[in-house]
Amino acid sequence: MTNILFLASECVPFIKTGGLADVVGSLPKYLDKNKYDVRVMLPKYMCMKPEYMNAMKYVTHFYMELAWRRQYVGVLELEYEGIKFYFIDNEFYFAGYAPYGNIYEDIEKFAFFDRAALSALPSIGFRPDIIHCNDWQTGLVPVYLNDVFQANEFYRGIKTIMTIHNLKFQGVWDKKTVMDITGLSEYYFTADKMEAYGDANYLKIGIVYADYVTTVSETYAEEIKMPFYGEGLDGLMRAKSNRLRGIVNGLDYDEYNPENDRFLAKTYSAMTFRKEKIKNKRAFQEELGLAKDDRKFMIGICSRLTDQKGLDLVDCVIEEICAEDTQLVVLGTGEERYENLFRHFAWKYPDRVSANIFYSNDRSHRLYASCDAFLMPSLFEPCGLSQLMCLRYGTIPIVRETGGLKDTVIPYNEFNNSGTGFSFANYNAHEMLACIRYAKDVFFDRKREWNKLIDRAMAEDYSWNSSSKKYEEVYDMLMS
């Protein structure tokens, strides 16, 4: 039996700001319980829902040195859906209304969490063979294991994996402060270790000291070796390329299932979508106050409204996208310029455009099920989960060929009747517009072909069943 501990700053259902939480909440459930004892450790944020806080059981507490500070560490546990979760408690660090705040506070908060997580292991009676770290917030774990914890026999031989969910976020702050916070010696603050462009970088040191590095799609693993996508660490990614692997995230097929989704007006399956899916579209048009018309091509966008998501391309050609035969539904929050862009077009074309500048889980499910197509023109996309949800619900994705979008959406080929969506290669607004128009052409004039696209999309399997096997291969290789 191999013992595996997941360390992360967020995890569904306890706390979520992005896709990291979905992965940490789902992957442990799908690993083979006969081969692996998998547990998860998180910070105990004060902003978690009371129902989870009240269910936690006290395990232990102790005091820990963090550089020159002496800090309280509480450990609580909770079993959820067959997985044991541990929570590191310290109200000084984990109070507040959100898991993340100012970067200079987060730098100290996660230095505390990383050291406390390792310090707590002997007292919870669990010695992991592998610690699976996620993103910069857990970047100090591999170096702490290599440094102060090496003196203790308990920690020797523990392997580490670092998973990069988005290379853009690296946990960067000035060297002097980080040296003071972490208690690490000057030895670690050099260009081949933690120093990057004059500052200290948590993600970099995690990658340098981890035994293996994974990221969330095969294409993204190749892209981050190039300067454009490498966010200043492309040289390091090339150096680590023999210990780097891309594994596409899975989707929780229990939560996202059109056959029993309680948020839908009408459930449907791969067998019944021809008759039943359209009923969701009609109900959604009514809910949003759009013109009720089966013959409108409904495009959905459910996303953070930021440049990374390719919304500057949408901005360029939005007037052409919002043609008379099209409806556009937007759900999400983000940069003010994009929020106001969609609000303006919803005001200008109230029967065609719906701007939902907030986030709603139940409305997102209805968007994935009701729209005809889904637009994701990302500048970069490490994995992306929205396109996987669309395939599951038979809503055809229109994507740019980058990262996980390239790995999961097969471009439609009219000559050999293959593909599960539409894609364009260059980051260009008119290339995106041509792709949308091509999709509309198939939707309006070749209905049989469109339905076959949906057949193929819904037949794809991006559940965790296949992705978890690839993670198991990595664990087995590290233990061999």
Q: How confident is the model at residue 94 (pLDDT cuts 50, 70, 90)?
A: very high
| Region label for 271, one of left (φ > 0), alpha (ψ between -120 and 50) or beta (otherwise) | alpha
Strand 326-331 to strand 353-356: parallel, antiparallel, or no bridges (unpaired)? parallel
Average pLDDT of the residues in 82-87: 97
For residues 446 and 97, the answer to whether their CB atoms sit within 8 Å is: no
Mind listing the pLDDT tens digit for each residue in 158-194?
999 999 999 999 999 999 999 999 999 999 999 999 9
What mean pLDDT, rounded, does the chain reach? 96
Average pLDDT of the residues in 43-60: 96
Number of H helices, E strands in the chain: 19, 18
Cβ contacts of 144 within 8 Å, gap of 6 or more: 114, 115, 118
How far, CA to CA in Å, does 169 sit from each of 117, 218, 427?
21, 19, 22
CATH of domain 2-250+465-479: 3.40.50.2000
Cα-based angle 106, 13, 392 (whole degrees, multiple of 5): 115
Mind listing the pLDDT tens digit for each residue in 368-402?
999 999 999 999 999 999 999 999 999 999 999 99
Average pLDDT of the residues in 403-408: 97
Identify which of 154, 136, 116, 193 has the alpha carbon closest to the alpha carbon of residue 20. 136
Phi, psi of 411 (to 5 degrees): -65, 140
Identify which of 193, 134, 187 has the alpha carbon closest to the alpha carbon of residue 160. 134
Mind listing the pLDDT tens digit for each residue in 1-46?
999 999 999 999 999 988 899 899 999 999 999 999 999 999 999 9
How many CA within 13 A on the CB side of residue 305? 22
Architecture of domain 273-461: 3-Layer(aba) Sandwich (3.40)
The encoded tokens of residue 110 equal 């996660």
Rg from Cα positions in the chain: 23
The encoded tokens of residue 424 equal 């364009």
Cα–Cα distance measured from residue 387 to residue 392, given in angstroms and rounded to the nearest whole number: 9
Extents of the domains making up the chain: 2-250+465-479, 273-461
Prediction pTM value: 0.94
What was the pLDDT predicted at 67?
87
For residues 440 and 299, the answer to whether their CB atoms sit within 8 Å is: no
Q: How crowded is residue 103: how many other Cβ atoms within 10 Å of its Cβ?
A: 11
Please name the helix (run of DSSP H) or strand (run of DSSP E) that holds residue 206, with its range, or none.
helix 202-209
Q: Say if 2-250+465-479 and 273-461 have the same CATH topology.
A: yes
Percent of the chain with pLDDT over 70: 100
Phi, psi of 165 (to 5 degrees): -90, -30
What was the pLDDT predicted at 17?
87
Phi, psi of 77 (to 5 degrees): -135, 160
Cα–Cα distance measured from residue 23 to residue 249, given in angstroms and rounded to the nearest whole number: 7
Examine residue 350 and say whether the peptide bond preceding it is cis (omega within 30 degrees of 0).
Answer: no
Mind listing the pLDDT tens digit for each residue in 219-259?
999 999 999 999 999 999 999 999 999 999 999 898 899 99
Res 99 pLDDT > 90: yes
